Every structure is written in structure tokens, then in C-alpha cells.
Amino acid sequence: MKKCMDQFAAGNMTVRMDEPKAGELKSLFRHFNSMTLRINELLIRNNKEITEKNSFKYQALCAQLRPHFIYNSLNTIKWLAVINKQENIQKLTEALIYILMNAAGGEKENYTVRQEIKLVEQYVVIQKPRFLNFNIIFDIEEDTKDCRIFQFLIQTVVENAIIHGFRRGMAQGGKIIVAVKKKEDCLSIIVEDNGCGFDVNTWRKCGGAGSDHTNIGLKNIEQMIQLEYGKEYYMTVDSVLGEGTKVMYKLPFIKES
């Protein structure tokens, strides 16, 4: 027994005593073996947790480094554009930097309508040189600008309108109207376009994804609203082929804390 205990004290976690067939020492030997087995299991688990935590910390550090690398690279491109008096490239780069930094911020409990509108404005700056066939109009009540909403709630709809509703070269005179108002103590958001439209029933049957309309983002937003606020609040999608699409949100009117 002394020999086994000395080995265990020296760090041999796998040492075991040969239990006698009978006698009072049998119970003592059994408890010793049970104790050493349990301690060994705990040490293995602890080492595994430490390894996983270190791995997560490493991944988190890498995740922090990657955005900074991208921001710094884009800033270099921006200043080259400034030096060479390429104003369009400068504006595009600044807009992309803003969107990436906004996205990298993760979930924000106090994200507001004001921030989302600025995000949409920057997104439009990027898409304008590619899709030259649309304009966007904002109708935002002042009292709603500090209301809390989900990040990318409006941008997702605007993106679908530009990419799917207008399609490069397939529609002219495109117009997107973004209206945010207070109605009956609720926050009402409407994003409406005059694009090509789509079949809403088909879109819902295929789970929000289709060959022509990959509006998975809308389904995700719809589910988030249900989970966060309940059935009292919702998103509606109305669309007519050849006429356009209208997306409406009814959300709680919650001011930034």
C-alpha cells in the first residue's frame, strides 16, 4: 500500500492496488483505486478543457487579427485612391470599410434605425457603380431614428431589391422607398421597390430559397422576429410579377437605452 501511495504522490495517476480477497483492508484498497481512477479522469478532463480553451483563445485572436488586416489593407487602397485623385474608388473603399466594421461588431443590443440607415446608404454606394438603374428614397420619421432593431433588417431587403428585383440591365428606372414610422405605439418599417417581383407562395413553399430569389435572409429575419417578440409582431411580403415587391415589418417601439 505504501509503495502504491508513494507512486501516486510522485505523479503516477494509473497506479492500482491489488485488492486482497478478504479482510478489512479490501475496502480500503478498493476506495484507493476508486479515488485514483476518479482523480485521473478529472485531470484528463481538465487538460482537455484547457486545450480547448487555448484553442478558442487562439481562434478568437485570429478572428480579431483578420478584420484589422482587412481594414488596414483597405485603408491603404483608399489613400492610394486619394493620392491619385480617384474619388469614386475612395468612396467605394470607405463604404466597404464601414460595412465590414459594422458586420464584425456582431450582435448589438442597442443597434438602432439610425445605424441601419447609414449601413444601407454605404451599401448603395457600393452597388451603384454596378447597378446604374435604381435610386433609393428614405422617409424616416425623426422619432424613430433611435429605435432598436435587428442588424441588417433593412439592408437585406434593399439588397434583394437591387440584385433580384432590378437585375443589371433588365429593368430601368428602378426605385426603392424605405419608410420608417411610428404607428399605434409600434415601429412600422416598409421597404418597397418597383422591380420585377416574384411569386411569394412559391418562395414560401421552397423555404425562402429559389433559383431566382435566394431570399434566405428574409426567412431568417422572420424567424428572429417571432422568437424575440412573439406572434404580435411580424413581417409581411407582398409581390406582384412585373410590378414590384413590398416588405413590411411590425416591431415593438423600443428606444435605445
210 has pLDDT over 60? no
Instruction: Output the nine-digit C-alpha cell for 82.
Output: 486619394
- pLDDT 10s digits, 124-140: 988 888 787 789 999 99
91 has pLDDT over 80? yes
| Residue type at 177 in one-letter notation | I
Buried b / exposed e over 232-256, threshold 16 CB at 10 Å, is eeebebebeeeebbbbbbbbbeeee
pLDDT at position 137 is: 96
User: For the whole model, what pTM was predicted?
Assistant: 0.66
Residue 84's pLDDT band (boundaries 50, 70, 90)?
confident
pLDDT at position 63 is: 57
pLDDT at position 66 is: 56
Give the range with max mean pLDDT: 5-9, 104-108, 163-167, 192-196.
Answer: 192-196
pLDDT at position 247 is: 96
For CA atoms 168, 169, 170, 174, the dihedral sign is positive
pLDDT at position 251 is: 96
- pLDDT 10s digits, 11-36: 887 888 887 777 777 788 888 888 88
pLDDT at position 105 is: 65
Cα gap 149→189, rounded to integer Å = 10
What's the mean per-residue pLDDT of the chain?
83
Cα gap 62→60, rounded to integer Å = 5
pLDDT at position 133 is: 79
pLDDT at position 199 is: 87
Beta-sheet pairing, 186-193 with 244-252: antiparallel
Q: Which residue has the cell 489613400?
A: 79
Cα gap 116→176, rounded to integer Å = 16
- pLDDT 10s digits, 30-62: 888 888 888 888 888 888 878 777 776 666 555
Average pLDDT of span 232-255: 93
pLDDT at position 24 is: 74
- Measured in whole angstroms, the distance separating CA 216 from the mean position of its chain's CA atoms is 13
DSSP structural state of residue 148: B
Contact 226, 234 (CB under 8 A): yes
Q: 3-class DSSP state for residue 235?
A: strand
Dihedral-angle region of residue 141 (phi above 0 means left; psi in -120 to 50 means alpha; beta otherwise) = beta
82 has pLDDT over 50? yes
Instruction: Output the nine-digit C-alpha cell for 8.
Output: 501516486
